[in-house]
Amino acid sequence: MIVMFGIGVSRLFGLVREQVIAYFFGRAATYSAFVAAYKLPNLVRVLLGEGNLSASLIPVLAERMRVADPGEARRLAQSVLGLLLLTVGLITLAGMIAAPALAWVVAPGFSPELRSLVERLVRILFPTVAFLVAGAWCMGILHVNGRFFWPNFAPLFWSVISAGALIAFVGRVEMEPIYILAWGVVAGSLVQLLVQLPTTRVVLGTLRPRTGWREPGVQRVVALFAPMMIGTGVAQLSTLIDIQIASFLTDAGVATLAYAQRLYLLPLSLFGVAIAQVALPTLAHDSVGQSIDVVRSELASSWRRMMFLMLPASVGLVAFGRPAVSLVFERGRFVADDTNAVTWVLAAYAAGLVAYGSVRLLATAFYAFQDTRTPVRVAVGALFLNAALGIGLAWTIGLPGIGLATASAAIANAVTLGVLLRRSWGGLFDSQTWHAVTRMLTAAMVAGLVGVMPYLSIMDRWSAWQLGERIGASLALYVGVAAVYFVVTAILRVDELDQLFGRGS
């Protein structure tokens, strides 16, 4: 629960940050340039840090902690840190030097003037890679030792400082707002790392990197990390392709995708990613000396918990997303037309919400058994599908087509991973799990149908209402739909409801 709560708080602060950004920029071309520029260092961060580092480091560290002395595990962590710092330093320097070429790669459809802004922002933002990758190393160390607080609360400092920079300095210093945002992001990334260091030092005993890169443990981490990085790179290439396609449609296109992604990533991070993060150490430990039935049971339990929370979230964002978009973003330079544009893209992305979470969780099952190649192969196929669908649908129905393509590719990815796990393990989920998920799906559909008429009534009156009336009506809609979902799951005897409220095992 602390992981879910921490990620939830961080994501909520992230939404506050996006509210501030929406107020100052709306869907301005300069914000599209910022989103495109930050995609590049963020790509490196995702490749070298976060899930990849944890998924490759945690199983090896868990194995060392179980069968070897603590000193060996500590030396392994130090050596991985040394290798990371060297790698990320070289990549950061190269990224800053190659900024002109990278700006063209990420946004080929932008005008020369807008692409020049992307180039300047790339140089400012690339140093965030070093701070965030080092923070991801801290996260892996803390997670394997059962410390979940700081790794999941640290990102809120990133949001507070980047948004605070806009509030504090726009109009008060002679610097364009987009550059203030960029420097705020750099400062927030540094603080996100600094707050994790004290606890990491207590757990590990030292923060000193080592150069023992030829040690068997380090080579094993690298062997797991390399194909996993390729697989994540494939997934990130998918989002890069989204930006590239959007850059040809309109100057506001990239910003529109970014706002929609912020909203659908909230439930994905809160439920899907959080459950996958907690499941990885457990599955990694269970995979050492435990039967496949134990691992399968743990995976099924995690998937049911995720589905219980993600299904109603998906229905809510697909069918009733407009009030959320309006309340979160519509102020300052973000106007009603921007709300309409973002709502359609959000609905398209959210159609694949359950699939996104399932991909994260099912890939975690492969990682726990130190198989990082299979998810890579599946991700490559999903990339080509996403690219083909994205180009075709974007030119047919515009920006929402990009979201639909991403959702469709994620569904194909999740189904393929599930089929491969079933073949490998001689079965995946038992009939009890499928019956439980079917009941959850039924409850989500009933809740969605009940919410249709109130939603249409709210939308008819929306433009005439003041902010307080909008908030009250939206809360009534969302709380009411959630209440219907919980009531129906209770009637259908879904065990995860009892577990959510602490009444189950």
- Are both 303 and 452 inside the same structural domain? no
- Are both 20 and 165 inside the same structural domain? yes
Q: Which structure tokens are listed for 489?
A: 């799951």
For residue 489, pLDDT over 70 is answered with yes
Say what percent of the chain tops pLDDT 90. Answer: 50
- Are both 273 and 374 inside the same structural domain? yes
Lowest mean pLDDT among 272-281, 417-426, 428-437: 272-281
b/e map 384-406, b = 16+ CB within 10 Å: ebbbebbbebbeeebbbbbbbbb
- Are both 403 and 472 inside the same structural domain? no
- Are both 246 and 369 inside the same structural domain? yes
- Are both 424 and 436 inside the same structural domain? no
As to burial, measured by CB atoms within 10 angstroms (0-12 exposed, 13-18 middle, 19+ buried), residue 478 is: middle
- Are both 401 and 495 inside the same structural domain? no
The amino acid at residue 115 is R
For residue 67, what pLDDT is reported?
A: 61
Average pLDDT over residues 294-317: 86
- Are both 424 and 452 inside the same structural domain? no
Mean per-residue pLDDT over the chain, rounded: 86
pLDDT tens per residue, range 200-238: 888 878 788 887 767 777 788 778 777 767 767 777 788
Which of 429, 447, 465 marks a domain boundary?
429
- Are both 412 and 447 inside the same structural domain? no
Query: CB-based contacts of 152: which residues, under 8 Å, 6+ apart?
Result: 2, 3, 5, 6, 7, 10, 274
Query: How many domains does the chain divide into?
Result: 2
- Dist CA 256 CA 258 (whole Å): 5
385 pLDDT band, cuts 50/70/90, is very high
Residue 464 sits in which domain range? 431-505
For residue 473, what pLDDT is reported?
A: 96
- Are both 355 and 459 inside the same structural domain? no
Q: What phi-psi label fits residue 370: left (phi over 0), alpha (psi between -120 and 50 degrees) or beta? A: left
Which of 396, 429, 462 marks a domain boundary?
429
Residue the block writes with tokens 């991985």: 80
Average pLDDT over residues 372-385: 87
pLDDT tens per residue, range 257-286: 999 998 988 888 777 666 666 665 566 555
- Dist CA 496 CA 437 (whole Å): 10
- Are both 410 and 445 inside the same structural domain? no
- Are both 449 and 345 inside the same structural domain? no
Q: Which residue has the higher pLDDT, 68 or 116?
A: 116
Which of 361, 395, 429 marks a domain boundary?
429
For residue 505, what pLDDT is reported?
A: 45
Q: Which pTM does this prediction carry? A: 0.83
